[in-house]
Amino acid sequence: MKLICIGRNYTEHIEELENEKPTDPVIFLKPDTAILLKKQPFFIPEFSNDVHHEVELLVKINRVGKYIDRKFADKYYNEIGLGIDFTARDLQRELKEKGLPWEKAKAFDGSAVIGEWLAKDNFEDVDNIDFSIHKNDVIVQQGNTSHMLWKIDEIIEYVSKYFTLKIGDVIFTGTPAGVGKVVANDKLKGFIEDKALFSITVK
């Protein structure tokens, strides 16, 4: 199982971090050890003083595929989920300035929250799904998949050129604007439309 993450897929998030708009999807990976275990709190790592939440719509791959054509991509997933790509922003900034990979800031243990899954058939259009994250019962980040620069099927087509997709792989499709710092005792709840799919405490 691998976690495939797409960066810079929402224009307003690109702007809030003052990044350049990419010409192709930005891809990075997280190992399975990054998955936060169910019912466990998220512990802020000792190597960062500025960990940010990044809520993202998730897709779970249900069949093996390579060089998948976009028009067939919808056959490769039947579940939609929600998660968090926790990011040590201070460490990421330092790594980017040195031209180094992001993994230490993005792929550390517990940095990937994967909530409950919903059947794709629940949605009339996967390219028009509202999602959000609430911090201490206040909405701090929200998005809609219609605002993605690259939609889900385009992502699957692109990613499968480089990586064979396997059953159980999870794609994090990118985060909208509104990322922010978490501190101890924060309560984070993630929603797709009106359905709560995860709830975690920060320690």
Does residue 51 sit within a domain? Answer: yes
Question: Which structure tokens are listed for 83?
Answer: 């998660």
Tens digit of pLDDT at every position of the chain (203 positions): 999 999 889 877 556 655 666 789 999 999 999 999 998 999 999 999 999 999 999 999 999 999 999 999 999 999 999 999 999 999 999 999 999 999 999 999 999 999 999 999 999 999 999 999 999 999 999 999 999 999 999 999 999 999 999 999 999 999 999 999 999 999 999 999 999 999 999 99
SS3 106: helix
Does residue 47 sit within a domain? Answer: yes
Number of domains in the chain: 1
Does residue 136 sit within a domain? Answer: no
Q: Which residue has the tokens 């620069």?
A: 149
pLDDT for the residue 11 = 74
The residue range of the domain holding 166 is 3-130+143-179
SS3 171: strand
Does residue 200 sit within a domain? Answer: no
> Which CATH number characterizes residue 57's domain?
3.90.850.10
Query: How many other C-beta atoms are found inside a 10 Å radius of the C-beta of residue 115?
Result: 22
Q: In 166-202, which positions are buried (b, 16+ CB within 10 angstroms) versus exposed (e)?
A: eeebbbbbbbbbbbeebeeebebbbbbeeeebbebeb
Tell me the C-alpha distance between 80 and 88, whole Å: 26
Does residue 196 sit within a domain? Answer: no
